[in-house]
Structure 1
Amino acid sequence: MDMVNSIGNPLASRKVCVIGAGMAGLAAERELRREGHAVTVLEQGGDVGGQWLYDPRTDESDPLDAAAPVRVHSSMYASLRLLGPREVMGFSDFQFVPPRKSGGGGTAPGRDRRRFPGHREVYLYLKDFCRSAGLADAVRFNTRVVRVAMAPPRRGGSGNALKWVVRSMDAGLWKQYTDDQMTEARCVEEVFDAVVVATGHYSQPRLPSIQGMGDWRRRQLHSHSYRVPDPFRDEVVVLVGCGDSGMDIALDLRAVAREVHLSAKSVEAAMTPAMSKMLARHANLRLHPQIERLCEDGRVVFADGTGVVADTVMYCTGYCYSFPFLDTEGRVTVDDNRVGPLFEHTFPPSLAPWLSFVGIPRKVMVPWFFEAQGRWIAGVLSGRWALPTEEDMMRSVEEYYRARKLAGVPKEYTHDVEPHKMYELGEKYCDFPRTEDWKRELMAIISRNTSDDMETFRDRDDDSDNVRKCLQKWYGLAEHQAQDEDPAASSSAAQATVHSSL
């Protein structure tokens, strides 16, 4: 029997292109296919995983050319571990537990069973998910998208059909061509009813403007190009930025570098309990105000007049949203790291639902939030759910912008989603199951512990009684998924039990 919407109309099947096969892209692909859409996923890498597919190589071009498209997508460094526990990092019906050895007897070889595993375990989990859900057959690997544009006639808008021309080419060939040569390269053009952009936002470095950057002849790089600490042995390293990556890399470097100097916009704001403990434990870690200038003789001068002669300056200053392939004729822009206008960080009102984005928000619970976005997009495209009018969506976006401005939130933090907003999206728009209360409580505990001590929070055992009780149940049920897992088969019944029983 054909599927129908709430008023009895048959659901439509669309030809949809998903750009990216990372966590967000895989979440979107599964929801779209569940809804009956014909999906093609274009992935520039040789495997699924996106950022989680660790690449020891770094960009060979100018590390400070922020305008140039990156050639190496992943920003993972070798020692990176999750900031969140695995219990909240899994898909809603496929828990993040490592498979068992064949026949039982412990975790499968090569798997990381820690509560806060390293990046490779996330990559392997995404491969497990892809295999279990049967997603790989729709993914075209080693394929670089070079242009996405509206096909004529360009109508768009809510209710008006709009098609997209997607031009792609072999990713290996793409690296050999300049922009001028691209049009003459061997590109493939395809037409789709809808495009879902799921390319992530941790690849294109965001750099500050500091006096003397262009003349400083010693090593400068963005943390995007950091992999291992050994190249910095016995060096004096200045890290610009005291966010999670800056503090984590400082801890990675402190064992090999002579000195590690952290530079913050505000020393007062940076001096959290976690920072205080780091500085007290490690004599070669120092905290400074922001950099005033870089001098040709190697000196780094800080805003308080102090300085240090450094071998390396590393910018741990975050990333930019970048969609160099996307031509919307100005309907979607990136301004001071605000992608907009986007209704609920997902749909551009004048192009909805034929263009959408999964994975724009930051500080959200993943992949749960990506699943909710994917289900919403899939249902709107099929006709299961309707979007507000273009005018109402624009009004909502403008109200959101005004509220953020009144709250004193800089434009660059537009996509930092407040927890209650994150949790309500799925329930509000697409009947997606709410995140269990104990997971919300667990995330609050972890957030508090991270702020208290960056070095020990992963090893603390201070879950509440309620969380402990739910965790026992979670692990017991998840065990069905992990035991004797056949890599070629899905354990969907056990996975569904895990979610529905909590």
Structure 2
Amino acid sequence: MRIAVIGAGSAGLAALRHCSELKNQDGSAMTVVCYEKTDQVGGTWVYVPDVGVDRFGLPIHSSMYQNLRTNLPKEVMGYPDYPHAENPKSYLTRSEILEFLNSYCDHFQLRKLISFLHHVELIEPLSVSQPETTAEEQKNANENRYRQKWKIRVKDLEKQSVSEEIFDAVMVCNGHYFKPSIPKIKGDENFQGQKIHSHDYRVPDIFKDKSVVVIGAGPSGMDLALEISSTAKKVILSHHLKDPILTKFPDNVIQKPDVLEFGDDKAIFKDYSEEKIDAIFYCTGYKYSFPFLSESCGVRVDSNMVTPLWKHLISIENPTLALVGLPFYVCAFSMFDLQVRFTLKFWKEEKQFPSKEDMLADELQEKDRRISLGLSKRQFHMMGPEQIHYYDDLANTAEIVPLPPVLTKLHNDSSTRFLDDLVHYRQDRYKILDDENFIQLESLPTLTEK
């Protein structure tokens, strides 16, 4: 088996770590290649001061801003068998997370498996099966789904040369925080001031002495509203939450409902109030995007639901294609590890994939269940409090070591603290006692590090 891993961020490293341990029947290591279009590991955790395109004319992948500090404690941001080193802080800087990912990469000797500055242009099945006409052909086609080979066209950015490689399986680990989702709001084309999405935000000085409307109150919107309040004259946090956010913001931050319309120099809100503004700051999230996957791969994005997938992960049309890391509001690094171990259990044929029909039924059941919870299609991959059920389902289905419940418990506690006390919650400190329990230690008196 030859396995390709697309991207050397936190998901790609987890994929490499486990794929690199696979052995052929003669005991030799299987061939695993990771294609990374930048010159280093870390994915979105790599801070790049530039925006727009890189020196090769490709869109800059990272959405990292200079002062980012994690919004989850390090205690839930490690890998199952590779936790963070001792540190008095629970909430780390972007630099500390990137250092951790590099140490993980070197500990498991993964760097030698990565082809840096290699941009994947196209992934497609080596051959596409014709429509089946008989029951026997249907059965054969179903079995062949598990033996699909893949052609990958990749460009060496330094040499400016293009080559094609054949693989038996592909793990797509390209992340989902790089293609901005910007809502269409009436009048936005007439607005004369500054417009920026959080993907292109780096430092708060760009809003110095300005009145800024922040669109969106997800984790990024709240964090960035707080950050830019240090330099902006006024910050208007616009959102459609039913109730006001209770956290105490600085005095120059106010909350408003959704924007109804923009004028040349103002925003009109759904309560018909108006605010003069100098800038629109879109903190409206991202779209799932796989520009290198051909249509014949059998995966599409429908209202930001990636489908058809089994367990938010495995291509139902071609099960030797896995898309690692789609769920969000999760204990990401541990989830990546779990998803990879789940996938390999089936790729190694230690477990058998269900039929295509059963996989489709499973996805439909999950979709209906989420609709019953009041979630929309675009929230299909959102976990949050649901994450523990997802982790347990993966572990039970593949009969692999599960993630400890304490991760979800601590994640939920941290998320509540984020909403209750946005300004100070990063001073909290935690300690995991065992698989079920954690304690909160005495908080840090100040945050001295930017």
TM-score, normalised relative to structure 1: 0.79
After TM superposition, give the deviation of residue 291 of structure 1 in Å.
1.0
After TM superposition, give the deviation of residue 385 of structure 1 in Å.
1.7
2:109 is matched with which residue? 134
1:327 is matched with which residue? 294
What CA distance in whole angstroms lies between the structure 1 residues aligned with 2:294 and 2:414? Answer: 40
After TM superposition, give the deviation of residue 142 of structure 1 in Å.
0.9
Contact 1:53 1:74 in 2 (8 A): yes
Give CA-to-partner distance per residue, 1:303-352, whole Å, 9 cap, x none: 22222221110100000000111013272110110000110011121211
Contact 2:11 2:173 in 1 (8 A): yes
Q: Secondary structure at the match of 1:237?
A: strand
Structure 1 pair 465–359 and aligned structure 2 pair: CA distance change class (3 A): closer
Indicate whether 1:341 and 2:308 are aligned. yes
1:22 is matched with which residue? 9
- Percent identity over the alignment is 31
Contact 1:77 1:227 in 2 (8 A): yes
What CA distance in whole angstroms lies between the structure 2 residues aligned with 1:237 and 1:393? Answer: 46
After TM superposition, give the deviation of residue 422 of structure 1 in Å.
2.9
After TM superposition, give the deviation of residue 48 of structure 1 in Å.
0.5
2:182 is matched with which residue? 207
Equivalent of residue 166 in structure 1, options 152, 155, 158: 152
Structure 2 spans left out of the alignment, 5+ residues: 24-29, 131-140, 441-450
Q: What pairs up with 1:242-281 in 2 under 5 angstroms?
A: 242-266=217-241, 268-269=242-243, 271-274=244-247, 277-278=248-249
Equivalent of residue 398 in structure 1, options 356, 359, 364: 364
Structure 1 pair 426–331 and aligned structure 2 pair: CA distance change class (3 A): closer
Q: Which amino acid aligns with 1:341?
A: P
2:330 is matched with which residue? 364
Indicate whether 1:228 and 2:221 are aligned. no
Indicate whether 1:433 and 2:401 are aligned. yes
Contact 2:89 2:429 in 1 (8 A): no
Structure 1 spans left out of the alignment, 5+ residues: 1-13, 62-68, 99-111, 174-184, 473-502
Give CA-to-partner distance per residue, 1:100-159, whole Å, 9 cap, x none: xxxxxxxxxxxx752100111111100000000011111001111111111125476454
Q: Secondary structure at the match of 2:314?
A: coil
Q: What pairs up with 1:43-54 in 2 under 5 angstroms?
A: 43-54=36-47
Q: Which amino acid aligns with 2:374?
A: G
Indicate whether 1:41 and 2:41 are aligned. no
Contact 2:311 2:394 in 1 (8 A): no
Q: Which amino acid aligns with 1:401?
A: K
Q: Secondary structure at the match of 2:310?
A: coil
Give CA-to-partner distance per residue, 1:12-51, whole Å, 9 cap, x none: xx10111011001111111112223321000111101001
Q: Secondary structure at the match of 1:166?
A: strand
Q: Secondary structure at the match of 2:161?
A: coil
Q: Which amino acid aligns with 2:32?
A: V
Equivalent of residue 78 in structure 1, options 51, 54, 66: 66
Q: Which amino acid aligns with 1:33?
A: S
After TM superposition, give the deviation of residue 59 of structure 1 in Å.
1.2
Q: Which amino acid aligns with 1:409?
A: L
Structure 1 pair 172–452 and aligned structure 2 pair: CA distance change class (3 A): farther
* Alignment length (residue pairs): 419
2:133 is matched with which residue? none
RMSD (Å), alpha carbons: 2.4
Give CA-to-partner distance per residue, 1:425-450, whole Å, 9 cap, x none: 44213343333344343223222212
Contact 1:158 1:390 in 2 (8 A): no
After TM superposition, give the deviation of residue 70 of structure 1 in Å.
6.8
What CA distance in whole angstroms lies between the structure 2 residues aligned with 1:462 and 1:152? Answer: 52
Structure 1 pair 53–425 and aligned structure 2 pair: CA distance change class (3 A): farther
Q: Which amino acid aligns with 1:18?
A: V
What CA distance in whole angstroms lies between the structure 2 residues aligned with 1:134 and 1:330? Answer: 31
TM-score, normalised relative to structure 2: 0.87
Structure 1 pair 461–124 and aligned structure 2 pair: CA distance change class (3 A): closer
Equivalent of residue 215 in structure 2, options 235, 240, 249: 240
Q: Which amino acid aligns with 2:63?
A: S
1:381 is matched with which residue? 347
